[in-house]
């Protein structure tokens, strides 16, 4: 609950972080993020980098699904397109990362158009099905277009270089990953303060009314799909510099489903929700393993029996969130904040 909040200009009112308190928290978060890599161990650092990369892709998916209401099951494949493009440009042509990555994003964009144009022309769930087709077809291309993608061997990529320093350890690439993630999150948040972003939301909520108001449905949906594919492509390019090798088996349908889970569990239509969702979906299997680990002294073979549980828990998580908490983690966060803000006035 905001009290004593007085704005004198539209700009101040529309700011992303409206109160001094939230700005202070944001600054603290920034400091924590900068200090984290020096304190965390290898394992957590690797996970943090992985989450940063996946978050960018998930943000793209949220723009498409959460804000524009279209379902895509091929997000991993578009990430793959970006990854391979970046890999080819970096490994074969020796282009620097700040050229190769945006090129990856652009090519993912174009790939998106190939599948988006026929399916977004029609209302309904056709994009979902078309993106499954995209997933199958693109995976086949990755594995079989030997001349370009190196077939099943894949492509080895040299590390990114910034001012002559090679980003070849987790610590060094951390800063690139997190700053790009922050940049894209900020861009996404700002997107929804513009006319374009509001058009997306209008298409999601009631497309007939949107059309009446002059929003061109087809162009809006395509634009949303292109932006979302661009995000996926950038994430792919970054991923390639992170893992330094790309093979066709890295972008399966299950990864697309994971992205959808991140977006839904986090909360559709909420930027911070997507970030929560990414962290949640990545960490839960790791937590499960840590739990199995803890019981190792009592049940030495627990791992073999509990390992498949992670699929069950993953699925159960999705189902549970959809039934009980449809607005996801973002809603849980907001409720917690409200509770503390209003205490003791509201139970």
Partner 1 sequence: MRKLRAMTTFPAALLACLALSVPARAADKNEVVIGACQPITGRFAFAGGAINAGLQDYLAYANENGLVKGKKLVYVYEDSGYDTEKAVATFKKIMAQYNPVIMYGESTGLGKAIAPELNGRYKVFYGSTSFSSELADPKNHPYSFVSGPTYSDMFGILLEYIAKHRGKEKPRVAFFYSDTEFGKDPIPYARTRAAELGIDVVAEIVTKVGAVDVTTEVLNLKRARPDYVIFQGYVLAPIPEVIRGARDHGLKTTFMGTFWSVDKTIIDKLGQDAEGYMGVNPYAYYWDDAPGIVAMRKYNEKAHPGEKYRPNSYIQGWFTGMVYVEALKRVVAAGKPITGDSLKDALATIKDWDTGGVTGKVTFVSNKAAVGRVYKANVQKGIFEPVSDWIHVK
Partner 2 sequence: MELFVQLMVSGVVTGGIYALIAMGFVIIYKATGVINFATGELMMLGAFFCWTAMTAARAPFAVALVVAIVAAGALGAAVERVVLRPLLGKRTISVIMVTIGLSAIFKGVAEILWSGEYRSFPPIFPRAPVVLGSVILPSRQAYPFLIAVAAIALVGLGFRFTRTGTAMRATAGDQATAFGMGIDIRRVFSLSWSLAAVTAAVSGVVIGAIGGISPQLGAVGLRILPVVILGGLDSIGGALLGGVIMGILENLAGGYLDPLMEGGGVKEVAPFVALVGILMIRPWGLFGSREIERL
State in Å, rounded, how far the first CA of the chain is from the last one. Answer: 14
Q: Which two tokens stand for residue 271?
A: 């930027």
Using CB under 8 A as the binding rule, whether residue 332 contacts partner 2 is answered as no
Q: Which two tokens stand for residue 187?
A: 């861009």
Task: Give the range of 22-30, 122-130, 143-151, 260-268 binding partner 1 by CB under 8 A.
Answer: 143-151
Site residues for partner 1, 214-243, by CB under 8 A, read 243
DSSP assignment of 19-57: SHHHHHHHHHHHHHHHHHHHHS-HHHHHHHHHHHHHHHH
Binding mask 242-261 for partner 1 (x = CB under 8 A): -xxx-x-xx-----------
DSSP assignment of 54-83: HHHHHHHHHIIIIIT----S-HHHHHHHHH
Cβ of residue 143: shortest distance to partner 1, in angstroms? 6
Number of residues that bind partner 1 (CB under 8 A): 42
Cβ of residue 319: shortest distance to partner 2, in angstroms? 4
Measured CA to CA in angstroms, residue 67 lies from 76, 176, 201, 212, 266 at distances of: 19, 27, 5, 19, 13
Using CB under 8 A as the binding rule, whether residue 46 contacts partner 1 is answered as yes
Report the chain's C-alpha Rg in angstroms. 21
From the list partner 1, partner 2, none, partner contacted by residue 153 (C-beta under 5 to 8 A by kind): partner 1
Handedness of CA 295, 297, 302, 304 (dihedral sign): positive
Q: Which two tokens stand for residue 118?
A: 């026929």
Among 50, 132, 182, 189, binds partner 2 (CB under 8 A): 132
- DSSP assignment letter at 90: I
Among 40, 46, 69, 196, binds partner 2 (CB under 8 A): 69
Using CB under 8 A as the binding rule, whether residue 316 contacts partner 1 is answered as no
Using CB under 8 A as the binding rule, whether residue 168 contacts partner 1 is answered as yes
Task: Let me know: does 135 contact 124? Beta carbons within 8 Å.
Answer: no
Binding site for partner 1 (CB under 8 A): 40-44, 46-47, 50, 143-144, 151-154, 156, 168, 243-245, 247, 249-250, 283, 285-287, 289-290, 293, 303-304, 307-308, 310-311, 332-333, 335-336, 339-340, 347
Binding site for partner 2 (CB under 8 A): 65, 69, 71, 114-115, 118-126, 128-130, 132-133, 136-137, 140, 143-144, 146, 151, 217-218, 221, 253, 257, 260-261, 264, 268, 305, 308-319, 322-323, 326
């Amino acid at each position: 609950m905001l009290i004593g909040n007085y704005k004198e200009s539209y700009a101040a009112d529309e700011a992303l972080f409206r109160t001094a308190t939230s700005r202070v928290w944001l600054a603290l978060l920034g400091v924590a993020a900068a200090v984290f890599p020096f304190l965390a161990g290898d394992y957590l650092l690797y996970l943090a980098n992985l989450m940063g990369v996946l978050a960018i892709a998930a943000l793209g998916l949220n723009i498409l699904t959460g804000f524009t209401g279209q379902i895509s099951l091929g997000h991993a494949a578009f990430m793959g397109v970006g990854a391979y493009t970046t890999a080819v440009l970096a490994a074969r042509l020796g282009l620097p990362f700040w050229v190769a990555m945006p090129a990856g994003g652009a090519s993912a964009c174009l790939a998106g158009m190939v599948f988006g144009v026929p399916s977004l022309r029609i209302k309904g769930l056709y994009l979902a099905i078309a993106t499954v087709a995209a997933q199958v077809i693109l995976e086949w291309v990755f594995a079989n277009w030997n001349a370009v993608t190196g077939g099943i061997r894949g492509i080895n990529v040299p590390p990114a270089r910034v001012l002559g320093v090679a980003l070849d350890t987790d610590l060094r690439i951390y800063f690139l990953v997190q700053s790009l993630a922050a940049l894209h999150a900020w861009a996404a948040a700002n997107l929804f303060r513009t006319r374009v972003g509001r058009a997306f939301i209008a298409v999601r909520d009631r497309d007939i009314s949107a059309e009446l108001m002059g929003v061109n449905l087809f162009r809006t949906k395509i634009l949303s799909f292109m932006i979302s594919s661009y995000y996926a492509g950038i994430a792919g390019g970054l991923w390639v510099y992170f893992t330094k090798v790309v093979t066709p088996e890295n972008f399966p349908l299950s990864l697309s489903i994971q992205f959808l889970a991140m977006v839904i569990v986090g909360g559709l239509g909420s930027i911070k929700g997507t970030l929560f969702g990414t962290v949640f979906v990545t960490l839960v299997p790791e937590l499960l393993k840590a739990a199995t680990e803890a019981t190792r002294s009592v049940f030495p073979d627990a791992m073999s029996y509990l390992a498949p549980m992670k699929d069950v828990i993953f699925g159960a998580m999705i189902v549970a969130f959809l039934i009980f908490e449809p607005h996801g983690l973002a809603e849980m966060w907001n409720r917690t904040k409200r509770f503390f803000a209003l205490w003791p006035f509201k139970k």
